[in-house]
């Protein structure tokens, strides 16, 4: 594999920089949230200082997530009840920013890393992924479920690296930034959690520039996962479908 392309398709070096007032105003942080009432308040509090726009896409929560967000003065949209992929598309369609940052609501992602993601876009990348393989994860180890997730994710990543001649390490992490026009051009169709890998495969097929920056994943703060490991087969099925078609 070509060493000059080690950080993704483009070989762009991403340096951590300060997020300026100018580039923060071009960013919309999109937070998909389904029954995250206990997490959303502290997350929004941490995000406010960044100066970015933000919106929440509620997955028909029954625990008052949407009401809590409205009370915090946030724009809240509802997905169509089809899953996280559906929610990302609803968020993108309603985002005023030119740069979209997708971030989970469960406090797994570090708001301080948003600056690195956005800086990658500013430096010319089309898609910047926060890599847990480079930044570490408190969730991907220690149990059988986590082993299956981690191994499956690494295997799919390896296949993509050989197929497209890149050196990516984490194609599944939901914490990422993408130019809005690029997102819309990809025409993503998957409704569930496979949307993240679909985004990467479609971007690679279109020759888009992908880079990764290290990002640490914390354990979900409270509440339940919406991704049962028994649905792992879907990742395999859609991966090969997206690769071929």
Give me the residues that bind Mg ion (CB under 5 A), please: 104, 106, 108, 220
| CB neighbour list of residue 227: distance below 8 Å, 6 or more residues apart | 193
Least Cβ distance, residue 176 to ligand GTP (angstroms): 13
Of residues 216 and 220, the one with the C-beta less far from ligand GTP: 220
Residue from 8, 37, 79, 212 touching ligand GTP (CB under 6 A): that is: 79
Please, are residues 107 and 139 in contact by the beta-carbon 8 Å criterion? no
> CA torsion, points 144, 146, 147, 148, in degrees to nearest 10?
90
Residue with tokens 């100018």: 22
> CA torsion, points 181, 112, 128, 90, in degrees to nearest 10?
-40
Which residues 174-203 are close enough to bind ligand GTP by CB under 6 A?
174
Site for ligand GTP contains 170 (CB under 6 A):
no
Structure tokens at 87: 């929610």
Structure tokens at 146: 């986590």
Of residues 23 and 65, the one with the C-beta less far from Mg ion: 65
Of residues 36 and 113, the one with the C-beta less far from ligand GTP: 36
HSE-up (13 A, CA, CB side) for residue 53: 18
Least Cβ distance, residue 195 to ligand GTP (angstroms): 10
Site for ligand GTP contains 108 (CB under 6 A):
yes
Site for ligand GTP contains 95 (CB under 6 A):
no
Size of the site for ligand GTP (CB under 6 A): 21
Query: Phi/psi at 74 (nearest 5 deg)?
Result: -90, 155
Q: Which stretch binds ligand GTP (CB under 6 A): 1-9, 178-186, 201-209, 223-231?
A: 223-231
| Residues facing residue 102 across a β-bridge | 30, 176
Of residues 58 and 126, the one with the C-beta less far from ligand GTP: 58
Burial zone of 22 (CB within 10 Å; 0-12 exposed, 13-18 middle, 19+ buried): exposed
| CB neighbour list of residue 191: distance below 8 Å, 6 or more residues apart | 82, 83, 84, 85, 86
The residue with its CB nearest to ligand GTP is 59
**134 binding partner (options ligand GTP, Mg ion, none; Cβ < 5 to 8 Å by kind):** none
Structure tokens at 157: 């990543």
Least Cβ distance, residue 231 to ligand GTP (angstroms): 10
Residue from 8, 59, 111, 135 touching ligand GTP (CB under 6 A): that is: 59
Of residues 35 and 108, the one with the C-beta less far from Mg ion: 108
| CB neighbour list of residue 83: distance below 8 Å, 6 or more residues apart | 59, 191, 192, 193, 195
Binding site for ligand GTP (CB under 6 A): 32-34, 36, 57-59, 79, 83-84, 87, 104-106, 108, 139, 174, 220, 225-227
């Amino acid at each position: 594999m070509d060493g000059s392309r080690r950080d993704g398709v483009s070989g762009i070096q991403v340096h951590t920089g300060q997020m300026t007032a100018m580039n923060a105003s071009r960013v919309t942080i999109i937070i998909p949230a389904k029954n995250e009432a206990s997490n959303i308040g502290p997350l929004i509090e941490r995000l406010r200082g960044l100066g970015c726009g933000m919106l929440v896409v509620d997955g028909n929560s029954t625990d008052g997530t949407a009401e809590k967000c409205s009370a915090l003065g946030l724009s809240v949209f509802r997905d169509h009840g089809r899953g996280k992929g559906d929610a990302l598309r609803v968020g993108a369609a309603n985002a005023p920013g030119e740069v979209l940052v997708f971030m989970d609501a469960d406090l797994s992602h570090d708001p301080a890393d948003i600056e690195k993601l956005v800086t990658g876009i500013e430096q010319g990348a089309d898609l910047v992924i926060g890599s847990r393989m480079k930044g570490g994860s408190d969730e991907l180890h220690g149990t059988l479920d986590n082993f299956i997730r981690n191994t499956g994710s690494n295997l799919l990543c390896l296949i993509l690296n050989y197929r497209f001649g890149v050196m990516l390490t984490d194609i599944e992490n939901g914490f990422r930034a993408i130019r809005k026009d690029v997102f819309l051009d990809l025409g993503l169709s998957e409704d569930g959690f496979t949307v993240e890998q679909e985004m990467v495969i479609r971007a690679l097929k279109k020759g888009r520039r992908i880079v990764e920056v290290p990002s640490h994943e914390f354990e979900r703060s409270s509440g339940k996962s919406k991704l049962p490991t028994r649905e792992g087969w879907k990742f395999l099925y859609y991966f090969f479908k997206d690769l071929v078609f």
